[in-house]
A = this chain, B = another copy of it.
Amino acid sequence: MGTRATIADVARKAGVSPSTASVVFSGKTPVSDATRRKVEDAAAELGYTGPDPRAASLRTGRSGIVGVVFEEHLGAAFLDPVKTLMMDGLADAVSPLGAGLLLLRDHEPSGRGATLTTAPIDAAVLVGCSGRLRESLDAVLGRGIPVVVMEGDAGADVPRIDLDNVEAQRQAASHVRTLGHSAVVILTLPHRADGPAGWVEGAADDEITVDVTRDRLRGAREIYPSAPVYAAAASSIDEGVAAGRAILADPAARPTAVIAQSDLLAVGVIRAAEEAGLRVPEDLSVTGFDGIEIDGLAPYELTTLVQPAADKGRAAGVAVAAMLEGREAASIRFTCVFREGNTTAAAPVETGLAASGAARLSPTP
């Protein structure tokens, strides 16, 4: 009662050797029915429910656990629709593998507990990664654990699942330009983990540690090289509203279009525009990125880039499965599909106001 029964206890009670008892549970070797019965009965009597996972794992070197590493508050994984879809696909793909998904943060604040370095994982998926990516990556690679990186550059040898962010965002910007907009603001995702919101003066690419942010910005800049850049603190409607208010604050310096790096941010901007008495798309065009379903957005239908989020997750799972079987996993780059909604329209006829606004908005003072 004080201590749990072990397989040795069961074996003794059943009158067989520990290895035989072990084999009864693992099924790795044929066992006579009589022996099996003896062992099972003994186990039942002792309340033995099977091998201790810890010991088995130590011995076999496998835990059946795939770690999924987020750089942010874990809850975000459940609240961000893109991540949610991605996880759905991932769960799907590792399911036949029989593996469980262990949700981890890259940098666990409290000392003890499971972190990337202390969790018994067979493989890892690094997602939404940024500056801390290298750190996490080294930890995993150092342990010789197969790893897949989503949306981040991990160097050679590490399979990568990502999007054609540059090209996709270029498409959206191009669409906006075709509509005749010149006073454009680019609303980006955070530039680095925990980055504050605000205007970014002459944002140099190498100051942006979040790969997604950098690439999408790069794409937009191929069309609008000198458009002002406002960085949001996170990808959420609330942050989008805050950013929208800041961007639309000065009536004399209002853009006629906002290129947002996520749908949630775009929705926030639309709300902010409504607040400010602007009509979308007549007074302000807004583009998003992700192509998620957004509740309560009617009658708007966002002009955006639809990314195959679930497929991305599934691909990561497939890659993990391959690596666990000792095969090589290939990097995959998914393609976004441009979808024109009703949140973009031709630029308003150029008034002195808009013209001066455009001028004021140039990044160089």
Contact = CB atoms under 8 A, between A and B. Distances in A.
Contact of A117 (B49, B92, B101): B49
Interface in A58-116: 58, 61, 63-65, 67, 73-75, 77-79, 84-85, 87-89, 91-92, 95-105, 108-115
A326 interface: no
A119 interface: yes
17 contacts: A4-B144, A49-B139, A49-B142, A50-B117, A51-B118, A54-B57, A54-B120, A57-B120, A63-B119, A65-B114, A74-B101, A78-B78, A78-B88, A79-B84, A98-B113, A100-B102, A102-B103
A4 B110 CA distance: 28
B75 A87 contact: yes
A293 interface: yes
A10 to B, nearest CB: 13
Task: Give the interface centre of A52, A58, A108 by most chain B CB atoms within 10 Å.
Answer: A58
Interface stretch (A191-199, A222-230, A239-247, A294-302): A294-302
Nearest to A143: B49
Q: How many identical chains are in the complex?
A: 2
Nearest to A141: B49
B98 A114 contact: yes
Nearest to A67: B100
Contact of A96 (B49, B55, B110, B144): B110
Nearest to A60: B54
Contacts of A55: 58
Interface string A1-38: 00010000000000000000000000000000000000
A97 B91 CA distance: 25
B110 A98 contact: yes
A112 B56 CA distance: 12
A75 B92 contact: yes
A53 interface: yes
Nearest to A65: B114
A202 interface: no
A102 B99 contact: no
A341 interface: no
A331 B329 CA distance: 46
A320 to B, nearest CB: 12
A251 interface: no
Contact of A118 (B58, B64, B108): B64
Contacts of A143: 4, 49
A109 to B, nearest CB: 8
Contact of A53 (B79, B120, B144, B298): B120
Contact of A58 (B54, B87, B95): B54
Interface string A108-136: 11111111011111000000000000000
